[in-house]
Structure 1
Amino acid sequence: MLLRGFFKGMNMRADVIFTNGSVVTVDADDRICEAAAVSGNRILAAGRSKAIECLAGSRTEIIDLKGRTLVPGFIDAHCHPGSHGTVKTHIPCGPDAVDSIEDIKRKIAERAEKTPAGEWILGRGYDQTRLSDKRHPTRWDFDAAAPNHKVCIFRTCGHVLVANSMALRFAGYTSATPDPVGGKIDRDKNGEPTGVLFETARVPFWKATFPKEKDLEKSTPLMNEDFLRLGITSAHDASGRNPSEIRVYQKGAAEGWLKVRLYIMVRLSGDIRVGDCYLESGLMTGFGNAKLRLGPLKLMIDGSAGGASAAVRKAYPGDPKNFGITYMSQEQLDEQVLRGHTAGFQIGIHAIGDRGVEMTIKAFERALEKYPRKNHRHRIEHCGLLDDLLLDKIRDLGLVPVLGVPFIYELGDSYFGTLGKDRLGCMYPLKSLLARGVIAPLSSDTPVIDPNPMHGIYAALTRRTDSGKTISPDQAVGIREAIRAYTAFGAYASFEENIKGTIETGKLADLVVLSRNILETPPEEILGVKTDLTMVDGEIVYRRTGPPLPGKKGVV
C-alpha cells in the first residue's frame, strides 16, 4: 500500500508537498518514504513520490527535496528557552571566548566601563577544567576587574556561580553565613567565602537577576529564531521559576510570533516555590493546548557532574569528602513526590549522579506502591550515572529518563577530570535503556550547551567529546534510533505522541528539511548537517536560503 489512511475530514488536496527525498517517518514500522503531503496544519500522507504528487492542486507548493531528508520537528525534551535568549546579553565565558581567568577579568572590566556603578554584571559559560588556570575564579579575581559593580559569573552548567565581594555583600554572605540546605559556600582556609557558590547558595543571586518581563519580550524572540533555525519545533521548558517567562510565552502565542511549542515545568525546590501555586490551583499536567501546555512538577535532588555537585556513591577524585550535594533528604523527597503524584502531576526530578538517581527511583517507587497510577510517565531529568540495577528499576517502574547524551560532545572532556575515567563506563546509557524497551528522549539543557540537535545526534552516534575522547562507546546507537530519541520520544515524554513526533496522517505538520540525506551521512560529518527549512503547524517558519520570513525579531 503506497499511502497510509487519510485523515477523515481533511482536505484531500495538499497545500505543500515534499517530494524526491528521504522521509524518515519515525512511525511504528520505521518507514522511510520518498514524499509527504501537508494539508492545513496536518500531515496528509507519506509515501512514494508519484502517489503523493497526485494530491497536488493548482495552489500546492511543491518542494523538491533532491535527495535531502525530511524528519519530524525536533523536540528538545529538557531546556531553558527563556534563559537561552537572555544569556545573549551576558558576558560570554565559554572555551570559545576565553582561555583563562585573566580573559574573564578583561571582559568584566570592559563591561564595567559601559555599566553604571552598583549595577549587575552577568556572565556565563566558564569551565574551570578548560581554563589554563585549572581552577574556579574567585571573588578577589573579579574585585580587581570591577570593584564598584555586583559581578556574577555562572559556570557553564549553571549549578555553580562566582560572585565578587560587592555581590556577596548584597546577598548578606559573610564568614558567619552557614551553608544553606542543598548548597555550599566555598571558603578559604580562614573561613572567608571565596565567592564560589554551589546549588541553593546561588538562589539570592538568581532572584536578584531574574530578567524582567520587558527584557524577556526582547530576548524570547531570539530563542524562537534560534530554535527554528535549528529545526526545534517543540521544547520542554525545565526552568519553572520565573512567572514572567510564562506570561511572555502566552503573549507570544496570542500575538502569533512564538512558533515553538512549549511544555512548561513548574519548579518546587528550596526557595523556588512556583510549583506550590500550581499544586494549590487544581491544575495538573496536560492543561493547555498544542502550543503551550502545563508539564511536570520539577524537583531537584542533586547538581552537575562537571561542577562536582551531582550526588554520587563514590567520592570525587582528589576530594575524598565530596560525594556531591543533595537538595533534601530521602524522606523529604518522598514527601514532595507523593504530593505531586497525588495531585495528578507528572513529576520530573533533576538527578545526575548515581546516588541522586537511586534516591529518585526510591521516591517514585514508594509513591507508586502507595497510590498506583497507570501511565504516569514520571521523569528523571538528565539521568547521568547508572548501573544495571538502576536501569532495570527504570524499566520496571515505567519511568522516562530524559538523557543528557548531548552533554558528551561539549562537556564530556570535563567529566574525565571531575568524575574520573573509571566512572564513565555507563554514563547516559542510551543503548542499554533502548535494549530494555525504555523510552529515553534526548535534550540539550540550553543554555548549558548549544541546542543544535546535530550535536546531540553526533554524540549519540559516536560518544565523542569535542577533543575526540570517547565516553561509554558501547552505548552508541544508530542514526534512526538517535532521530527517534529527538522526535517521537520527546512527544511521548509530554503525552503528545498522538499528535506529533512522527510523520503520519493526521499529525501536526511540524517538519524539518535537512541539508543532506542524514541516513547516508558518515557519523563524523553529522556536525555539518544544517536545517534547510522548518515548518510548524503547516507554516514554513524558517528557510536557510531566500528572503527573510516575516516574524518578530529579538533584540540583544
Structure 2
Amino acid sequence: MRNRESWNARRPAAPAGDAPADLVLTGGRVHVFDEGDHLAQAIAVRAGRIVRVGHDREVAPLIGPGTREIPLRGRAVLPGINDSHLHGVWLGAMWPHLLMDALTAGAADTPPPPAPALRTSADRRAAILRTRDLLAALGVTSYTEPGLGPGEDGGDTGCFGSAALADYAQLAAEGELAARVTALLLFGELDGPGSADAFSAGLREFAAPAEVPGWFRVAGVKIFADGIPPMRSAWVCEPYPDGTHGGLLIDGDSAEQRLHRLTGMIHAAHAAGHQIGVHSTGDRTSAAVVSALGAALADDPRAARHYLIHGDLLPPGTLAEMAAAGIGLNTQPGIAVATRHLLHDTLGAHTLARMCPTRDALDAGVDVCLSSDSPVLTPDWRRGVVAAVTRAGVDGSVCGADQRLAVREALRAYTVTPARQDGAESWKGSLEPGKVADLCVLAADPLRVEVEALPQVPIELTVVDGRVVYEAASRG
C-alpha cells in the first residue's frame, strides 16, 4: 500500500519574525486568491516562503540591506500557475509543434507534427529541461504529468514509460526542476486499450521512485476508461450518426464485463491509497466512473482527490454525484473549441452545446481545474483562460456559450483549485503568508484587460520557492 501522507505534513514551517526579507515586490496589484479574494500592493519572501502580504507600508519594514526589492509600478502578481494536466516529456520532445495546430489554424491540409522518439535518459532529460524552460517563461510553477509507467515501456515515442519517472526524480534530487511535478502512474497504453489484469499486477509489483519533497511526487494512477467523441470512441447514451455508442477501453467480452473490470480497477486503486485520475469523455462512461468512485469512497472515506479527466459530456445528475462525493473535474475548454466543427458532425448541435460543462460543474459545487493537455494544446495558460471565458474559436464561432466562466473563476482554476487536486492547498496555490513563494508577475492586470488581449500581456517574472526562475530581458 502506498504512503497516504500528503505533501502537506512534510513542508517546513514558514520563517517567523521581522528579519529582512530576501525578496520584496512593491507597488503592484497582488492577487492573493485567498477565500476573500483580497488585493494587496506588496509581498515579501524569506527562505522560500511568503512572510507578509499587504500595503507597501506594511511590507517596507522587511526591506534590509540584502533584500532584493522589485518595484512593480502597477504590474500584477498572481499565484504561480499550476497546469494540472500537461505531458512534460512529450511537450519537450515536440515543441513547438502541437497536436491541435491544424485545427486551431483552420487548415485541414496541415501535416501532423513529427512523432518523437526518445531512446535514452539523456533524450528524456533534455525534453524535461526544455519543458522546464518553456513553462518558467509562462509563469507555470507546478504541473501534473498525467500518465507515466510500465504500460508504455514499449511505446514508440519513449515519452511515457516508467524510465521517465526515474529521470524526473533524479532531476528533482539534483535541483534541476523549476516547477513542482506531480505524476500519475500508467499501467496501460496511453489513449489505448487497458488490461484489468495488467493494472492489478502494476498495483502489486511496480515500485515508483521515491518522492523528492516539494518537487516530485507520484500521487496515484491514471485510467483510460474510453476514447474521445470525434473518433466515436467515447461511450455515450445517444448514438452517433452511424448508430454506434462507442465503448469502454478496458478488456472484456461484453460491455457488462468491461464495466465490471473498470469498477474493480477503481476499487483496487483506491484501496491501495492512490489518487485516481480517469480519462472519461462520454456521458455513459462518466456516469459509470463516478458511481464506481463514489462507491469506493463510501467503503473507505478519505480525502482522495479523485477526478475525471476531460469530462466532455457530464449531465446534471452526474455533476451532482461528483459534488457530493468530492470528485473533481480536470478539463480543457480549448479542446472543445478547437474540435467544435468535428463535434458538430459527430454529436449534433444540441449535444455540442453541453460539451465541457465548466459553468454547470462550478454551479453544482464541483472543483474545476483548467489545464492544457499540452502538447495537445499550447501550454500558454493565457490562451486557456480565453477559451474558458469566451468559448470562441478563431473564426468567432462559439462552443457552449452557456458554459462560459468569469476571468477570476478561470484564474482560480489554474491556481487555487489545482493545489487542492494536488492535496497541497495548505502550502501552495495562493499568496498567503506561510505558503511557498510561487508566483508570476504580469505586465498588466488580467482582470483589467479585455480577455481576448490576455495572451499579449507579457509575463515578466516567475518565482518558485522564492527563487527567480525566469525574468524577462526587458525588465528593469
Q: Same fold (TM over 0.5)?
A: yes
**Distance 1:498-1:91 versus aligned 2 partners, 3 A rule:** closer
Give, in angstroms, the shift of residue 418 of structure 1. Answer: 3.1
Name the aligned partner's letter for residue 335 of structure 1: G
Is residue 283–residue 313 contact of structure 2 (8 Å, CA) maintained in 1? yes
- Secondary structure of 1:238's counterpart equals strand
Q: Counterparts in 2 of 1:36-435, with a 5 A limit?
A: 36-88=43-95, 94-95=101-102, 99=107, 101=109, 104=111, 124=113, 209=117, 211-241=119-149, 242-269=161-188, 270=194, 279-280=203-204, 288-316=212-240, 318-323=241-246, 326-328=249-251, 329-369=258-298, 371-435=299-363
Moved more, 238-247 or 69-78: 238-247
> 1:33 is matched with which residue?
40
Name the aligned partner's letter for residue 263 of structure 1: T
Give, in angstroms, the shift of residue 430 of structure 1. Answer: 1.9
TM-align CA RMSD: 2.8
**Distance 1:100-1:383 versus aligned 2 partners, 3 A rule:** closer
Is residue 99–residue 377 contact of structure 2 (8 Å, CA) maintained in 1? no
Distance in structure 2 (CA, Å) of the matches to 1:291 and 1:339: 27
Give, in angstroms, the shift of residue 28 of structure 1. Answer: 1.2
Distance in structure 1 (CA, Å) of the matches to 2:296 and 2:238: 27
Give, in angstroms, the shift of residue 420 of structure 1. Answer: 2.3
**Distance 1:25-1:469 versus aligned 2 partners, 3 A rule:** same
Aligned length: 440
Distance in structure 2 (CA, Å) of the matches to 1:78 and 1:289: 20
**Distance 1:529-1:274 versus aligned 2 partners, 3 A rule:** farther
Distance in structure 1 (CA, Å) of the matches to 2:231 and 2:427: 38
Is residue 314–residue 323 contact of structure 1 (8 Å, CA) maintained in 2? no
> 1:526 is matched with which residue?
454
> 1:445 is matched with which residue?
373
- Secondary structure of 2:356's counterpart equals coil
Distance in structure 2 (CA, Å) of the matches to 1:293 and 1:63: 32
**Distance 1:233-1:411 versus aligned 2 partners, 3 A rule:** farther
**Distance 1:9-1:473 versus aligned 2 partners, 3 A rule:** same
- Secondary structure of 2:148's counterpart equals coil
Distance in structure 2 (CA, Å) of the matches to 1:93 and 1:83: 14
Name the aligned partner's letter for residue 338 of structure 1: H
Q: Deviations over 1:258-279 (max 9, x none)?
A: 2111101001332699865762
Is residue 147–residue 221 contact of structure 2 (8 Å, CA) maintained in 1? no
Is residue 99–residue 375 contact of structure 2 (8 Å, CA) maintained in 1? no
Structure showing greater radius of gyration is 1
Is residue 508–residue 537 contact of structure 1 (8 Å, CA) maintained in 2? yes
**Distance 1:537-1:8 versus aligned 2 partners, 3 A rule:** closer
Is residue 411–residue 465 contact of structure 1 (8 Å, CA) maintained in 2? no
**Distance 1:250-1:537 versus aligned 2 partners, 3 A rule:** same
Distance in structure 2 (CA, Å) of the matches to 1:91 and 1:230: 16
Moved more, 372-381 or 36-45: 372-381
Is residue 266–residue 275 contact of structure 1 (8 Å, CA) maintained in 2? no
Give, in angstroms, the shift of residue 40 of structure 1. Answer: 1.7
Q: Deviations over 1:447-501 (max 9, x none)?
A: 1110111111111211112322112212212221111110010000010001100
Structure 1: 5+ residue runs without aligned partners?
1-5, 105-122, 125-152, 155-205, 548-556
Give, in angstroms, the shift of residue 416 of structure 1. Answer: 2.6
- Secondary structure of 2:85's counterpart equals strand
Q: Deviations over 1:126-174 (max 9, x none)?
A: xxxxxxxxxxxxxxxxxxxxxxxxxxx77xxxxxxxxxxxxxxxxxxxx
**Distance 1:24-1:78 versus aligned 2 partners, 3 A rule:** same
**Distance 1:100-1:479 versus aligned 2 partners, 3 A rule:** closer
**Distance 1:292-1:72 versus aligned 2 partners, 3 A rule:** same
Q: Deviations over 1:96-115 (max 9, x none)?
A: 789455x63xxxxxxxxxxx
Name the aligned partner's letter for residue 365 of structure 1: G
> 2:383 is matched with which residue?
455
Structure 2: 5+ residue runs without aligned partners?
1-12, 150-160, 189-193, 252-257
Name the aligned partner's letter for residue 165 of structure 2: I
Give, in angstroms, the shift of residue 251 of structure 1. Answer: 2.3
**Distance 1:277-1:220 versus aligned 2 partners, 3 A rule:** farther
- Secondary structure of 1:527's counterpart equals helix
**Distance 1:480-1:92 versus aligned 2 partners, 3 A rule:** closer
Distance in structure 1 (CA, Å) of the matches to 2:464 and 2:146: 22
TM-score, structure 2 as length reference: 0.85
- Secondary structure of 2:67's counterpart equals strand
- Secondary structure of 1:225's counterpart equals helix
> 1:485 is matched with which residue?
413
Is residue 278–residue 284 contact of structure 1 (8 Å, CA) maintained in 2? no
- Secondary structure of 2:424's counterpart equals coil
